[in-house]
Structure 1
Amino acid sequence: MSTPLVISPLARVRWVSGRLEISAAGHVVTLSTSEAEVLALMHAFARPSTASEVRAQFPLIDVDPLVSQLRSAAVLVAPAQVAAIESARWDVDSFTFHRRSRAVVRSGAPPVSPPVVPARPESAVLRLERPTEPMSQNLPCLLNARRSRRSWPDGLMHDLGRLLWLTARNRAAGPDVVSRPYPSGGAAYSLELYPVVAPDTVAGVPAGIYRYLPDTHALELISPDAHKPVLARAAAAAGAERAPVAIVVTSRFERASSTYGELAYSLVLKEVGGLFQTFYLVAEYLGLAMCALGGGCPDHLFAEVIGADDLIEPVVGELVVGPASPPRARPPGRTTRD
């Protein structure tokens, strides 16, 4: 073993059931051991070294079999491979997620939670408007016009109900059945939508944090006074002075993970992508200005506000929406009553 080896940038060390598991992100082979000396042996390859050079440092350890296993697990690699990994700019967690999200799906149990979560008995519920006018079907124009818009004029927004109806309502018939306008892997539909409304922003909807009820097309009031920090963070994430309405998207993760295991988080993110594009096109149709956010409200802060656990219901997406500025032409079929 005269070839120089070095620790891969994708190497990972975990403690599982009292044993060390040493592997490289995205690689199928894992070295499992209870011998802590293996970590010292690995450290000897922090700089490119040969097995012969390292053997001299550990006279009491049978170095060659361990080096062979670490090479098989892609933990020790040639220096040239390190350069290739670093040039691709993968980090350990992202590459592990990528590889696992492409794994073969194993059949699992049905979702462990009901697909429709009703409002809490003590909650105030606000019914929303539904579209009644004929709709334009000029999809190419909507796709071409779609933009992220980060400024919103003062004034009332009248289309929140129609935005949610056309984007996220449950269009299925029958108990415990979900079918929404956007796609979801296995029809798990793990996403929950929380509109966060600023004062004097939405016609007929007071300021507060709400949960959208897709089965009844209504808003459940979660908190009348916790909206300010959420909206402030959303505005900062959008690079805007204010955020009229933030829509915080969470995932009831067990609905996907109970069936799809390691593939679940990938499916949740794809579901978020489908939801976001649907939101954008509907907002464009309604003449609203929308901006998806790369970040915003921390999971733990929002979980505390809505009375959830961020392990059970993490935040997976955020958007800001409001009236468009400057005023834009309404599509065919729209009335001017609002």
Structure 2
Amino acid sequence: MRKLILRNFQSPGDIVMLTAAVRDLHATYSGEFVTDVRTPCPALWEHNPHITPLGEQERDVEVLDCHYPLIHQSNHAPYHFLHGFIDYLNARLGLAIRPTCFCGDIHLAPREKQWISQVEEIVHWPMPFWIVVAGGKRDFTIKWWAHERYQAVVDHFAGKIAFVQVGEGGHEHPLLRNVIDLRGKTDLRQLVRLVHHAQGVLCPVTLLMHLAAAVEVRPGMPKHRPCVVVAGGREPPHWEAYPHHQFLHRAGALRCCDDGGCWKSRVHALGDGSPQDRVENLCVATVGALPRCMDMISTDDVIRAIELYFVGGAIEALPQRAEAAYAWQS
């Protein structure tokens, strides 16, 4: 059996894509490989049946630094992010791995599925909730939507949806009103379990959209977790979007993203010395603090996208009890 250690030290969203490639490697070549990984996100590999501890100095172990150069063709070639690492492994190892599922490969132990959520620990009942990410990393401010628009969405669904705000400490995640505040209060594994319990997710293009697709849903939920992604025009939709998500993009509506995504980094320079401040990485069509493609996504657009899941019957609103809907505020 061929022994591989696959290394990648990018962001958690990238690592979710690598989990899919490892799954599909074993699905295509069952029994032919032993695999281990080196990533900054061990929590995403917990309970993964395809991981076997290997030492880099062991005999016959191949160590491969994994990349996804396919992204440079993403504006024009018909590939999803899930193809990125697969294409690289095929080229480097002389394989023909084929994708098997339209999602990453995150595993929960049986005991984890039995634990109550952090939300239930707070409100003392199994309240349905949506996760909201209303900010992001400062290296890619072009992905941010307006904070006041997220707030308007939260306010619109008062009594119908309980929102739980998450965000990594050290990143930019201003507090929304009338939410359960779990910003900086979840490690990566806790975040995976929170997604498992979540009824839906509202976010920009970020880790949470990939977890929304990759993490198993609870019993009684639709087969695929509702997720609304405020995407704008940075990435080509086919590279990022999942079939059961509402992916709100504006690619093709503006000249700056009429041939795929613009792949810019920031709306305005921040003066922090980052390469993202270079003029070639800055948005060329801005409306105040927003890229125009994000400004063109209104609160009504997001509200309608969320409501579709209720109108279609995929999920149900909170019980019509104000004291239940707002229990966490007391």
TM-score, normalized by length of structure 1?
Answer: 0.20
Give 1 or 2: higher strand fraction: 1
TM-score, normalized by length of structure 2?
Answer: 0.20
Higher-Rg structure is 1
